[in-house]
Amino acid sequence: MINFDAQDLLATAEIDEPLIIRGTRCHGGFDADGKYISPRNKYRSAAIDLWRRQFETRYARAVASIPPQSFPSHIPSLRQAEFLLERGILDPLVKYFTKIGIAESFGEVIRHAPTNIQRFFADDIRGTATAHLEKGLLEAHARDEAGHEEERGHTDMWFLARDVAFDGRPAERMRLEVVAEMGDSVTRRAAKEIPEVKRQHRLCPDLDPDFDRLLERLTTLLFVELAAYPRFAWAEEFLGNSRLSAGEAARIVRYIRQDEDPHVAYLLIVLDEIREMNVIGESGKLHRGDSLVQPHWNRAFHALLTSVSRTGPEWFRHEVEKEVIRLKLPRSVYRDFVDLGGPMPNPT
């Protein structure tokens, strides 16, 4: 039986030198050869591999996978970004990086999940990745995104990458602006935690609202993580090659990308495990996990595509337009920017 305790799944491998960016202690560090070591990964990735193999043996099929290319990108193309830099139109880019950092801070809520997950299942879940959600898997994920104690996580690492790249830009003003713009969705998210609202929002009316909410959270998280892949790849390439000379910022993004690997991996396994098991409804009736996961899966995918089209290229173009007006640049600059929009770079 595959069994880890929270301490194992939260343990970081031996590091020689901590990751410190501009005086800020971030998670992870470097081994004696200078290789970056992600936090909380002494056993976590190995454990995830074991759960994957266990799943494949038990159910004679591979764990689902979704190519990152399934998601449209949020971003200006590399050429468009360079065009903005050449003309000193930096705010939309600074804001974009700020937005990613703030989105990562929502990772904080990942840890708030129901306990004693076994009570939702008719099957014995011991030894599965699902059983380990409350034994460190969700906590490790939350810490990666939002930081833990004195170690800063992805939220601050994105802010640091932004500050390294766009030295001296009004970062705090940006943060406040973005928080105000995103305020609505934060309020909506908080409202869903009220028990009566949780009950009303269930996709399966016979399901314990806490379990329904867990399925909603896991599927949402999975698609948000997957959609981030091409954006993060873009960010690393842009920072590494642009006229900003932001090699250090590109390295920070590379560390973040390495840390992200276990996130999608465990979420895919857990959701597939749940699909294969029987879930106990409030009435006592048993439901096939598959029939419960699929509606959440569809909803989360659809919600993500809708939000990408609402907050993606359209949002960015609007930011550029505002900045062209603020800087009193000719209107043609905005048109040229839009015309340059070509196909997005392939995720690496």
User: What is the contact surface with Fe ion in residues (CB under 5 A)?
Assistant: 104, 145, 154, 225, 260, 263
Q: Give least dist CB 263 to Fe ion, A.
A: 4
Q: Give least dist CB 168 to Fe ion, A.
A: 26
Distance between CA atoms of 46 and 52, rounded to whole angstroms? Answer: 10
Position of minimal CB gap to Fe ion: 154
Q: Give least dist CB 323 to Fe ion, A.
A: 27
Q: Give least dist CB 144 to Fe ion, A.
A: 6
Structure tokens at 46: 């190995």
94 or 265, CB closer to Fe ion? 265
- The count of C-alpha atoms lying within 13 angstroms of the C-alpha of 84, restricted to the half-sphere facing its C-beta, is 29
225 or 323, CB closer to Fe ion? 225
Cβ(46)–Cβ(162) below 8 Å: no
Q: Give least dist CB 259 to Fe ion, A.
A: 6
132 or 154, CB closer to Fe ion? 154
Q: Give least dist CB 83 to Fe ion, A.
A: 28
**Distances 91 to 96, 177, 285, 293, 324 between C-alpha atoms, Å:** 8, 12, 55, 40, 10
260 or 272, CB closer to Fe ion? 260
Give 307-348 as a DSSP string: HHHHHSHHHHHHHHHHHHHHTT--HHHHHHHHHH--PPPPP-
Structure tokens at 99: 């937005």
120 or 223, CB closer to Fe ion? 223
Q: Give least dist CB 264 to Fe ion, A.
A: 8
**What is the bridge-based pairing of β-strands 17-21 and 24-30?**
antiparallel
Q: Give least dist CB 141 to Fe ion, A.
A: 7
161 or 324, CB closer to Fe ion? 161
Single out the residue of 117, 119, 2 nearest to residue 55, CA to CA: 2
Residue 182: alpha-carbon gap to chain centroid: 16
Distance between CA atoms of 69 and 227, rounded to whole angstroms? Answer: 9
Cβ(274)–Cβ(293) below 8 Å: yes
106 or 211, CB closer to Fe ion? 106
**Distances 32 to 18, 43, 130, 253, 258 between C-alpha atoms, Å:** 11, 19, 35, 21, 18
37 or 125, CB closer to Fe ion? 37
Give 269-295 as a DSSP string: HHHHHHHHSEEE-TTS-EEEHHHHHHH
